[in-house]
Amino acid sequence: MNLRRTLRNILIAVGAVVILMQFIQPSRENPPIDPAMTLQSHHQVPAEIASLLDRACRDCHSNATVWPFYSYIAPASWLVSYDVMEGRKHLNFSEWGKYKEGKRMQKLSGIYQAVTDRTMPMPKYIPLHPEADLTDAERTALSSWAQQEAERMMGGGEETGETEE
């Protein structure tokens, strides 16, 4: 009898904590997007690459995050919000125009490296977002594009997508 009462009290306490956790909600803000500041306004981004970036990278690396249902349930909400905040801090396609040219080349090289090394999209992201899992061909296309854009910038080509003739 005493064990049942103790177990019941523990379950009530755990339930109360879980309910109280729901009142501590992180920010799920999507800052406004200025089209003139986006990656697409500064680089040639073929439709295939834009689609891959949208499908596999947008949620953590842009201001156009689609917040899934579990991002409203603590403690998952805290983890999702943190991952998005960190992702945007490291690379934000919506604010690409704020990066200086050297930083843009570093970011493009970073995209190449992360996609090639399979560190992006993050492996923990894939189970709940299987659409973000890139095939080998998609990884090759995305990494090749990033490398070509970085090389074009180093060669003095215009960032807006114009090439030297």
* Every domain of the chain and the residues it spans: 2-154
Position 86, amino acid: E
Identify which of 3, 162, 135 has the alpha carbon closest to the alpha carbon of residue 56: 135
Angle at alpha carbon of residue 35, lines to 31 and 36, rounded to 5° = 115
CA 21 vs CA 9, 10, 137, 139: distances in Å: 18, 16, 43, 39
Q: Which of 12-16, 20-24, 52-56, 123-127 bottoms out in mean pLDDT, i.e. has the lowest? A: 20-24
**Cis, bond preceding 121 (omega within 30 deg of 0):** yes
Average pLDDT of span 84-103: 96
Q: If pLDDT is split at 50, 70 and 90, which confidence band does 122 have?
A: very high
pTM: 0.82
| Selected residue with higher pLDDT from 84 and 24 | 84
On the question of pLDDT at 127 being above 80, the answer is yes
The pLDDT assigned to 87 comes to 96
Tokens 């920010």 sit on residue = 27
| pLDDT, tens digit (0-9, with 9 covering 90-100), for 10-19 | 999 998 888 8
On the question of pLDDT at 22 being above 90, the answer is no
The pLDDT assigned to 89 comes to 97
- Tokens for 40? 């697409």
Average pLDDT of the chain, as a whole number: 91
